[in-house]
Amino acid sequence: MKRLFYLSVVTAILALAFWSVASAQDEMEPQSGGTLQVAFQNDWESLDPHVTSSYSSLQILNNVLETLTTFDDDLNLVPSLATDWSQSEDGLTWTFNLREGVMFSNGREMTAEDVVFTYERFLDPEGGFSGSSGNIGPEGTVITAVDTYTVTITTPDPVGVEPILLGLNKATGIIASESVEEDGSIQIPIGTGPFMIAEVDGTSSITLEANPNYWQEGLPYLDAIVITPMPDDIVRETALQGGEVDWVLAIAPQSYDALVADDSIVVDTAPQLSYDYIGFNLMREPFSDVRVRQAISYAIDRQQICDAAYFGLCDPVQGPVGTGSPWYFDYAPYGDGPDLETAQALLEEAGYGDGFEMEWLPNSQVGETVRAAEVLTAQLSQIGITSTINAPEWAEWLELEGNFMYDAYICSWNGLIDADQYYYLQHHTGLVFNFTGYSNADFDALVNEGRSTDDFDTRYAIYEQANQILVDDAPYVYMYNKQEIRAYASNVHGFVVRPDQANNFWTVWLSDE
């Protein structure tokens, strides 16, 4: 009798346990189906991966194209369209073995020929394509299809980080040659990714549909994604709170508290792999004098700038790499807070004890740069620097910044995963992103060395030295490192906020409530 009693109790408990585990699993089990309504911030510009630099465009391409390698959510380099890769003895050639049976969204299988086509188009100097092609290789890089599923990339000098560069973003995604229109442009790229572009309504909306031929079984969960740009923060946030959209790309930092308090919304953050900075025009006086730049770096109150520009959702930094990255260097020579005395002394040494006049160049379409400029104006007036602000919108800003027509500009670099991205193209003499005119032979030698090998410890030591030179020379004065913030409805699951700011929608699914 007693045994029977205990047996039934245990059975009941076990049954209860199984039942609750099962139903809990039910809640966690991704469901297929549904359309995700998404609001981006800015319009996408071109959808041609070899031309565009717009974040919105690249995020759409992020879900439509795939690269040979990619970074997982923990930022480890993992295979994607390539299953494995190896470097030749002389370091000049990388060989990639491609995954078999990967289909483009139009039903054709991807082969080595497609890789060759894609990369050659990107590197074509006549094509007027963007400088990001540097991620495939410098001038003289040769791509060859050895056989149907093997590709080699040969560079004039050893590029140890080739697999890393190829996986940074989808600008190097593999496209089908059928994507190219008669006039050579690409309006709708055809890729191997989890989604395909079904409909483009100018810059008013884009509809992505699940790729029926996608090589990863069971993915994506969503049937479709509809993306609308909503540049106005208030409109976008209210659309989310009102249920018109399910997911938004960015929220105004001052709305953070209000949205966190809203139960129907999930707000998620991650430290960005980015930095906001001041770039100086080293071709102009007084910024050609390193002491002036250092004086400014000593004088500014980074915490206050962070509070004013981004409502405190950031950390002050004195170097490009934030604490969230494995490449973080603990080197902060400019003191714990604003040091006006040292700043003043440096200015006097440089001959500017009475101060000088200057103009800031923030970008009117990125509010935090303008707010930073306003605060900088007030802060630096304390050491005798009087400043004005010129805040054009993006088109004009690019002209001025690209042609040394400024004193000091305010901007940010984002999506920085590998050390090379923090140092190489921006600060190496004469390279495409070097808008300050910085040139230091020791630094050049170090960053060249850093990208020729792929051993982490060796590279860390090299970049530590490079970092020190750069922070001391201060062509950039670093201000703060923002939090990446995403907000979405509570029935959206499976989205991961990534420090590199990539938005991967293929793991997202919708539950019913």
Partner 1 sequence: MNYSYLLQRIALAILVIWGVSIAVFAIVQLVPGDPARVVLGVQADAERVEAMRERMGLNRPVLEQYTDWFTGVLRGDFGNSLITAQPVAPQLWNRFVPTLQLAIASLIIGLLIAFPLGIISALYPRSAIDVIASIISQVGVSIPDFWLGIMLVILFSLTLGWLPPGGYTPINENPLDWLSHIILPALTAGLISGSIQTRFIRSAMLEVLNENYIRTAHAKGLDRLTVLRRHALQNAMITIITIIGLQMTALFSAVVVVEIVFAFPGLGKLSLDAVLDRDYPMLQGTVLVMATIVTVINLVVDMLYFFLDPRIEYA
Partner 2 sequence: MTETTHSGEIAKLKEHVKPDGIWIGVYRRFIRHPIGMIGFFLVAVLIFVGIFGKQLAPYDPNLDMDFAARFSGPTIEHPLGTDNNGRDTLSRILYGAEVSLKVAIIAVTLATIIGTPLGMIAGYGPRVVDEVIMRFMDVLFAFPAILLAIAVLAILGRGVENAMIAIGIVYIPIFARIARGEVLSVKNEEFVEVARALGASDAGILIRHILPNILAPIIVEISLSLSFAILAEAALSFFGLGTQPPDPSWGRMLDEGRDYFRQSLWMGMMPGLAIMLTVMGFNFLGDGLRDALDPKTR
- Which parts of this chain interact with partner 2 (CB under 8 A)? 233-234, 252, 254-255, 258, 304, 307-308, 364, 367, 370-371, 373-375, 377-378, 381, 388-393
Residue 24 is a binding residue for partner 1 (CB under 8 A): no
Burial 397-434 (b: 16+ CB within 10 A, else e): beeebeeeebbbbbbbbbbbbbbbbbbbbbbbeeeeeb
Stretch that binds partner 1, among 236-244, 291-299, 309-317, 486-494 (CB under 8 A): 236-244
Q: How many CB atoms lie within 10 A of CB 8?
A: 10
Instruction: Please choose which of partner 1, partner 2, none residue 233 contacts, taking the beta carbon within 5 to 8 angstroms, the exact cut-off set by kind.
Output: partner 2
101 binds, among partner 1, partner 2, none (CB under 5 to 8 A by kind): none
Residue 458's alpha-carbon distances to 89, 116, 469, 470, in angstroms, are 19, 32, 18, 19
Residue whose CB is less far from partner 1, 229 or 316? 229
| Cα–Cα distance, 397 to 374 (Å, whole number) | 17
* Beta-strand relationship, 476-489 and 93-98: unpaired
State yes or no: residue 447 binds partner 1 (CB under 8 A): no
Q: Does position 231 bind partner 1 by CB under 8 A?
A: yes
Residue 212 interacts with partner 1 (CB under 8 A): yes or no: no
Contacted by 235, from partner 1, partner 2, none: CB < 5 to 8 Å by type:
partner 1
Rounded CA gap, 389 and 47, in Å? 33
Residue identified by tokens 């002389």 is: 90
Q: Give whichever of 51 and 383 is closer to partner 2, judged by the CB atom.
A: 383
Please give the sequence-ordered ranges of beta strands (E in DSSP) within 30-112, or none if there are none: 35-40, 69-71, 77-79, 82-87, 93-98
If one asks whether residue 264 binds partner 1 (CB under 8 A), the answer comes out as no
> Look-up: residue for tokens 């105004």?
252
Nearer to partner 2, 263 or 442 (CB): 263
Return d(Cα 14, Cα 24) in angstroms, integer: 15
Contact partner, 132, from partner 2, partner 1, none, Cβ < 5-8 Å per class: partner 1
Q: Does residue 62 interact with partner 1 by CB under 8 A? A: no
Report which residue type is found at 458. Answer: T
Q: What gap in Å lies between CA 280 and CA 45, rounded to an integer?
A: 28
Of 82, 230, 248, 385, the residue at the interface with partner 1 (CB under 8 A) is 230
Nearer to partner 2, 201 or 399 (CB): 399
CB of 20 to partner 2, least distance (A): 41
Angle at 172 between CA 97 and CA 457, to 5 degrees: 70
CA 159 to chain CA mean position, Å:
22
In angstroms, the CA 61 to CA 38 distance is 15
Tell whether residue 203 is a contact of partner 1 (CB under 8 A).
yes
381 binds, among partner 1, partner 2, none (CB under 5 to 8 A by kind): partner 2
Q: How far is the CB of 428 from partner 1 (least distance, A)?
A: 14
Residue nearer to partner 2 on the CB measure, 172 or 241:
241
Question: Residue 382 in contact with residue 299, Cβ under 8 Å?
Answer: yes
Cα separations (Å) of 449 from 159, 288, 309, 455?
9, 27, 37, 11
- Cα separation, 431 vs 141, whole angstroms: 17
Asked if 429 touches partner 1 (CB under 8 A), the answer is: no
Q: Which does 252 bind (CB under 5 to 8 A by kind): partner 2, partner 1, none?
A: partner 2
Query: In the bound complex, what is the minimum distance in angstroms from residue 492's beta carbon to partner 2?
Result: 24
x-or-dash pattern for partner 1, window 166-185, by CB under 8 A? ------------------xx
Interface with partner 1, residue 126, by CB under 8 A? yes
Q: Does 88 engage in binding with partner 1 (CB under 8 A)?
A: no
* Helix, strand and coil percent figures for the chain, each rounded to 5: 35, 20, 45
Q: Does 156 bind partner 1 (CB under 8 A)?
A: no
Which partner in partner 1, partner 2, none is near 227 (CB below 5 to 8 A by kind)?
none
Q: Which of these, 275, 294, 277, lies nearest to 473 by C-alpha position?
A: 294
- Alpha carbons 26 and 141: distance in angstroms, whole number: 51
Among the listed residues 157, 199, 232, 257, the single contact to partner 1 using CB under 8 A:
232
- Mapped onto helix, strand or coil, the DSSP state of residue 458 is helix
Q: Single out the residue of 53, 216, 323, 386 in contact with partner 1 (rule: CB under 8 A).
A: 53
| Contact with partner 1 (CB under 8 A) among 35, 54, 458, 511 | 54
Judged by the rule CB under 8 A, the positions of this chain that interact with partner 1 are: 43-48, 51-54, 125-132, 184-185, 187, 200-204, 230-232, 234-235, 238-239, 242, 244, 365, 393-396, 398-399, 401-402, 425, 432-433
